[in-house]
Copies of this chain bind each other. A is one copy, B any other.
Amino acid sequence: MSIASFVLAVSALTTPVDPFIGTMGDGHMFPGAVYPFGMVQLSPDTQTRYFKQSYPWAAGYQYDDPTILGFSHTHFSGAGHSDLGDVLTVPIAGAVRLDPGEADEPLSGYRSRFSHDSEKAEPGYYAVTLSDYDVRAELTATARVGLHRYTFPAGKTAHVLVDLRSAIYDYPGKVLWSRIRVRADGTVTGYRQTRGWAPGRQLYFALRFSSKPVSNQIYNREQPKPEYDPGFAPWAKRDDVIFREGRALVAVFDFGALPSSQLNVKVAISGVGEENAIANLDAEAPGWDFDATRTAAAAAWHAALATVEIEASEPVRKMLYTSLYHTLMAPSIFMDVDGSYRGPDHEIHHAQGFTFRSTFSLWDTYRALHPLLTLLRPESDNIDFVRSLVASWQQGPDGLLPVWQFQGQETWTMIGYHAVPVIADNWLKGIKGDPGPLSLDAMVASATNPRYAGLDEYMKLGWVASDKEREGASKTLEYAFDDWTIARAAESMGRLDIAKQFEARARNWRNVFDPKTGFMRARKSDGQFREPFDPAAAGYYGDYTEGNAWQYTWYVPQDTAGLIRAMGGNKRFVAKLDALFDSKVDPKAFANVEDITGLIGYYAHGNEPSHHIGYLYVYAGQPWKTQERLKQIVTSQYQPVPGGLSGNDDLGQMSAWLIFTSLGFYPVTPGSGEYVIGRPFVDRAVLHLPNGKTFTIVAENLSDTHGYVGGVRLNGRPLSRAFIRHDEILAGGELRFIMQAQPSRSWATDPRSRPYSMSSYQ
């Protein structure tokens, strides 16, 4: 056994990951090869080129599709909207078809059938046999380079097709411009600019083959033919075209009969330029040792995953390690090896002392993903996120922190200014390298930008006026929480003026609470609630964001105590929570809103506004009810199978929820420094913290029949409160749950044992 295979074996033993989990249905995961937080996500695409309905193919791949188009180098992990699918590379044996063809018409194009039996996926590695060509394709990756190893059948000519038209969430006209160039040394470089989810996005690449092509063609397939086509270059019709520009480029590299049957391809990407892509390629993949790269990727994953040791049943371990794997992909690197990157102004910048990151799905990830990374990767990653966010604010044209940014470009997707809680939480946790006052400037500027969705009215009235701005109820609630985190960060920096201003804004949730119906409702400029009102109604462009009043009414993470009081006390609060979970709801009720999935009553675990709700019973002194609901959620929403995710993983948020919840606690209120204790789902877990300490979670007597927390001990001493603080975890030690068959009506039920709420301090 070589060292390489030994590492792979150890990795597989200790951190069982199944990249196929979430690749079917609403999970929107991709099974391909990626390095932790890598800029390249090299994965098979199975979608049809122009979708009638693109949503299922947000990651390019759906498990039940019969064909693979090829392998492209960029993918989102679990997104609800999409783009990417750059530099589609296709190995072809025999005849070459220039267009992808239809999935249900074999050999109608270059796409090939495949069988799941031939597929293999591990962290940093993916393989499949393209059965129409009998080509074995293996993929691995460094941070910025995708490596392909193709094994061709004997006796057939080998080709590689590169289709710069192919895109995830494609539509006519998406590719604005593209280029392919074959350089004198055989390096193929190019770029494309697309108007997709991110407008005007530029992506550059550099590609090398392990063998020299016999010939290369570059076609421009644009239809209708452009009025002025740069393909009029004097040699554009030759067989050895070395340069072409246009809107529909396809290159075909012909290798004839390969000397050996194997052909390796390596592709680096860059947001900056072709020369930078070459530099990335040279730096990260100078040679041709596919196995060594695969081993290095596996080792990097193993090191990243092994920071959490989990003892549980194998299905649970697989689910959790796969979840952990999913939390270590985004916000991904978007910077070249020389420190340069293309920022939100589309200009080239140089990161000073940090690694620029992008793919910020902040509305999702501020809730649990970022808090998880403040524990597991504070200085290696979380501080990069903060500095990247602040740099984007400085460089962006809009004067706002990113909302939903990828490859440096803003998409204006979802609501709120949730870079704020990420930054504030980071600051409040004292993670080294935070730019401090500059962070505060960025947060305040974003939260007071009158151009941003309804903020002008929000600042005047105290709510987002629903006659002027859509989703007024949701926006008011989320702004108010974000404001609270600014208040906390400002307070900690000694800026009490700012703290006071935003503390007041943090109470704005009260302005959209309707005591008559007991729901959060959108309010108009004149102060009236909008009529008619149906707490079950959901739809795009209504008063709620991907949800309804049932789901959004619980969104006061900064002041659940205040919410309980507003609702009329613990009893009514709990009754309403129960009604949320126990209502009989037609599963098709929300078919009109793509993201409302994973229903338990009106509770929708497939989407983020619900994520904290299971923990809220704790605030009403009934932690056992939280324990029950968590079991209900965990068992119904996560399965270690391709269709095992009930909703989009959302760049790690769904997964981070499961990790926290399985460990026994969850960050209901990022910025508070507290994690609310639920109940564990693993027998034992050890967090190997970056500060060198370990924090161990033990669940004594945990079993299917013993799902209630009877008591908790922190470092051997009884813990009677229903939360644990960030600094207590960082200090290392042991959190021991004593599980029992019956609910405990005494543990952590005292009002003084409850987690942070603004009102508790009044």
Report which A residues bind B (CB closer than 8 A): 171-174, 176-177, 179, 181, 183-184, 191, 193, 195-197, 199-200, 226-228, 230, 232-235, 238, 240, 242-243, 245-246, 273-275, 345-348, 397-399, 410, 412, 451-453
Of the candidates B230, B235, B451, B452, the one whose C-beta lies within 8 Å of that of A240 is B451
Given contacts A171-B227, A233-B398, A235-B451, contact A193 B176 (CB under 8 A): yes
Do A348 and B273 contact each other (CB < 8 Å), given the known contacts A195-B177, A200-B230, A453-B234?
yes
CA–CA, A366 and B199, complex, Å: 43
Q: Give the interface centre of A177, A179, A397, A398 by most chain B CB atoms within 10 Å.
A: A397
- Given contacts A242-B451, A275-B347, A451-B242, are A196 and B228 in contact (CB under 8 A)? yes
Q: Judging by beta carbons under 8 Å apart, are A346 and B179 in contact?
A: yes
> Chain B contacts of A410 at CB under 8 A?
233
Q: How far is the CB of A567 from chain B (nearest CB, A)?
A: 31
Known contacts being A179-B200, A452-B235, is A195 close to B398, with CB within 8 Å?
no
Contact across chains for B184 and A399 when beta carbons are under 8 A apart: yes
Known contacts A226-B173, A227-B171; is-contact A245 B275 (Cβ 8 Å): no
- Tell me the complex Cα distance, A230–B201, Å: 11
Copies of this chain: 2
Residue among A171, A184, A200 with the highest chain B CB neighbour number at 10 A: A200
CB distance from A108 to the nearest CB of B (A): 25
CB < 8 Å: which of B191, B245, B347 contacts A274?
B347
CB neighbours of A230 from chain B (8 A): 195, 199-200
Residue of B nearest to A191 (CB): B346
A233 touching B412 in the complex, CB below 8 Å, given contacts A173-B226, A179-B346, A398-B243: yes
Determine the distance from Cα of A232 to Cα of B171 in the docked complex, in whole angstroms.
18
Which residues from chain B contact A347 at a C-beta distance below 8 Å?
273-275
Q: A173 contacts which chain B residues (CB < 8 A)?
A: 226-227
What are 29 residue pairs bridging A and B, where the CB atoms are less than 8 Å apart in the complex?
Answer: A171-B228, A172-B227, A173-B226, A173-B227, A176-B176, A176-B193, A177-B177, A177-B195, A177-B200, A179-B200, A181-B345, A181-B397, A183-B397, A184-B399, A191-B346, A199-B228, A199-B230, A199-B245, A200-B230, A233-B398, A234-B412, A234-B451, A234-B453, A235-B451, A240-B451, A242-B397, A243-B397, A273-B347, A274-B345
Tell me the bound Cα distance from A227 to B50 in angstroms: 13
CA distance A438 to B172 in the complex (A): 45
A452–B199 Cα gap in the complex (Å)?
37
Q: Give Cα A233 to B451, complex, Å.
A: 10
Closest to A275 in B: B347
A457 vs chain B, min Cβ distance (A): 13
Chain B nearest CB: distance from A229 CB in Å?
8
Q: Which residues of B contact A452 (CB under 8 A)?
A: 234-235
A193's nearest neighbour on chain B, judged by CB, is B177
A345 to B452, CA, bound (A): 39
The 10 closest A-B pairs by CB, nearest first: A199-B230, A243-B397, A235-B451, A234-B453, A181-B397, A199-B245, A176-B176, A171-B227, A176-B177, A273-B347
Q: How far is the CB of A80 from chain B (nearest CB, A)?
A: 15
Question: How distant is the Cα of A172 from the Cα of B228 in the complex, in angstroms?
Answer: 10
Give the distance in Å from the alpha carbon of A700 to the alpha carbon of B176 in the complex.
64
List the B side residues contacting A181 at CB < 8 Å.
345, 397
Most buried by B among A174, A451, A452: A451
A456 to chain B, nearest CB (A): 10
Across the interface, name the chain B residue whose C-beta is closest to A396.
B243
What is the CB-to-nearest-CB distance from A338 to chain B, in angstroms, rounded to a whole number? 13
Nearest B residue to A395 via CB reads B275
Task: State the Cβ distance, A409 to closest chain B Cβ, in Å.
Answer: 9
Contacts of A348 in B (CB 8 A): 273, 348
